[in-house]
Amino acid sequence: MLGKLVGWDDTIAAIATPQGTGAIGVIRVSGTKAIEVVDTLFPSKSLTEQPSHTLHVGLLKDGSLVLDEVVVALFIAPRSFTGENVVEISCHGSHYIQSQVMETLAARGVRMAKPGEFTQRAFLNGKMDLVQAEAVADIIASNTEASKRTALLNMRGGFSSVLKELREELIKFSALIELELDFSQEDVEFADRTALFDLLNRVSVQVSKLLQSFRLGNVIKNGVQVAIIGKPNAGKSTLLNALLNEERAIVSDIAGTTRDTIEEILNINGVLFRLIDTAGIREHTSDIIESIGVERSLAKMKEADVVVYLFDVSATSISELEQEKKNLEEAGIKYILAGNKADKVIDLLPYTDSGALFISAKEKSGVEEVKQKLFDLTVSGDLNGDNVIVTNARHIDALQKIEQSLYDIRNGLQEGLPGDLVALDIRECLHYLGNITGEVSVDDRLDFIFSKFCIGK
Ligand code: GDP
């Protein structure tokens, strides 16, 4: 683990709650002198004599000036988020009060924290590894149950522990191969090649599992892009409204009505589905022919992760439907076929082979099935289990490099490359594995990673 860096022993502070007026505002202070400094502002008792993990109510005073009545929470090093002495001052939510407290702290030598600096210190003090630290940012940014759960799992070390184990096993092999090099004259083999292949395979399986999980991770973090496509009057607006559960429907009776929606969002089982180009759906001008094959529809479909192709069962022939399906398949588009206005048609039998769902957008029947199918089609994989899911682009980059180096090692072994070259490839693989969890030197990237946090985290 990385040791404490020189210059990191100053005490920092930041307002940890969002800007704007809330009921309370929390100021976080961390560093060797955190408790000492706050103690000078807290006359009612001596904070330096209080045990860790305790709360204290009292006036915060700068000399005779009362700053606020506050609650002070004490966390004595190393039992704190950052691993340093930490004081959290909960004051009233006024921006004025919080600024005044910050100024008073600054006058006592406390420095304003940089973005992510608290979490960075937690990492540097060995309180968490890099994946966990990055997960803190994801937790703060999470906006659905699924994204929160994934981030929490990563923060608790789910993803890192898998990689750490594999890395340790690989280190053993690398040591054995390097030992062989010392005995190169004697033609000995300490590292069991079969066992090494076996390990390489296990690492490969894990790595490709993690790489695959990224697609799901991305879905959880950024949502699924959905486009509703179909001919005019198929019922797209009606379906959109039914999906969004909006009663204030804007359908074709009001000609040319557009609603300036940038994006409509659906939450299905904790995953966000972003309905794209909803303004387009709501345009009802006759010059927009939204049939498959029309350029605009195609572009829209390409942009989407999944397309809901809606057709009017009362006005679509079987052969027409088969043609539309063929078009979708040829374009390599993931789609759901939904036959709308099922309330109007008595005989649906001819359409049953098409694999379509039959719905009535107007009567809101079958809409839940559309939602469920959207979910099943795009969020395959077990969201509820403790599956490790990679959501971070930096990790994916490293995983791809690991995959390449695994290939190189295996190739090298098969071709009987000299041990020193194999050892080099193994080192490279170890380097990338360690990069993810922060076990190898990553100093340059640290500032970059933590700068993406906001101040106070
Ligand atoms: P869009 O052009 O594809 O957006 O179609 P709209 O949603 O504007 O619907 C066109 C017409 O079909 C409207 O008059 C709707 O009321 C009607 N409509 C939509 N869904 C259904 C349905 O499930 N059943 C019936 N009977 N009519 C529907």
Structure confidence at residue 267 (pLDDT): 80
Q: Quick check: do 12-128 and 223-378 share a fold?
A: no
Say if ligand 1 is within 6 A of residue 233 CB.
Answer: yes
The strand pairing partners of 12, in sequence order, are 30, 111
> In 8-32, which positions are buried (b, 16+ CB within 10 angstroms) versus exposed (e)?
beebbbbbbbeeeeeeebbbbbbbe
The strand pairing partners of 111, in sequence order, are 12
**Ligand 1 atom closest to 359 (CA):** 23
Structure confidence at residue 120 (pLDDT): 79
Residue nearest to atom 9 of ligand 1 (CA): 235
Q: Which of 237, 238, 253 to mutate to test the pocket of ligand 1 (most atoms within 8 A of CB)?
A: 238
CATH topology of domain 145-219+392-438: Four Helix Bundle (Hemerythrin (Met), subunit A) (1.20.120)
Right CATH number for 12-128 from 3.90.1200.10, 3.30.1360.120, 3.40.50.1000, 3.40.50.720? 3.30.1360.120
Say if ligand 1 is within 6 A of residue 29 CB.
Answer: no
Pairing status of strand 357-358 against strand 335-340: parallel
Of 400, 394, 406, residue with least CA distance to 430: 406
**CA distance linking residue 188 with residue 416, whole number of Å:** 14
Structure confidence at residue 6 (pLDDT): 42
Q: Which of 228, 233, 363 to mutate to test the pocket of ligand 1 (most atoms within 8 A of CB)?
A: 233
ipTM of the complex: 0.98
410 assigned ligand-binding residue: no
Q: Could you list the pLDDT tens digit for every one of the 457 residues in the chain? A: 333 444 556 899 998 888 777 789 999 999 999 999 999 999 999 999 999 999 999 999 999 999 999 999 999 999 999 999 999 999 998 888 999 999 999 999 999 888 778 887 887 787 877 777 777 777 777 766 666 776 776 666 666 777 788 888 888 878 777 777 776 666 666 667 788 888 888 888 888 877 877 766 667 777 888 988 888 888 988 898 888 875 433 443 333 343 444 457 788 877 788 887 655 554 444 444 444 445 556 667 777 889 999 999 998 889 999 988 888 888 888 899 999 999 987 788 888 888 899 999 999 999 999 999 998 888 765 555 555 667 666 777 888 888 998 999 999 888 888 878 888 888 888 888 887 777 664 444 455 556 655 656 6
Structure confidence at residue 8 (pLDDT): 56
Domains of the chain: which residue ranges? Answer: 12-128, 145-219+392-438, 223-378
Residue nearest to atom 10 of ligand 1 (CA): 233
255 assigned ligand-binding residue: yes
Structure confidence at residue 443 (pLDDT): 47
Structure confidence at residue 224 (pLDDT): 85
DSSP string, 43-92: TTS-GGGSPSSEEEEEEEEETTEEEEEEEEEEE-TTSSSSSS-EEEEEEE
Query: How many A from CA of 276 to the centre of ligand 1?
Result: 19
**Architecture field, domain 223-378:** 3-Layer(aba) Sandwich (3.40)
Distances (CA, A) of 40 to 46, 96, 99, 107, 443: 9, 21, 18, 12, 35
253 assigned ligand-binding residue: yes
Structure confidence at residue 296 (pLDDT): 59
Structure confidence at residue 258 (pLDDT): 39
DSSP string, 204-259: HHHHHHHHHHHHHHHHHHH-EEEEEE--TTSSHHHHHHHHHT-SS---TTSTT---
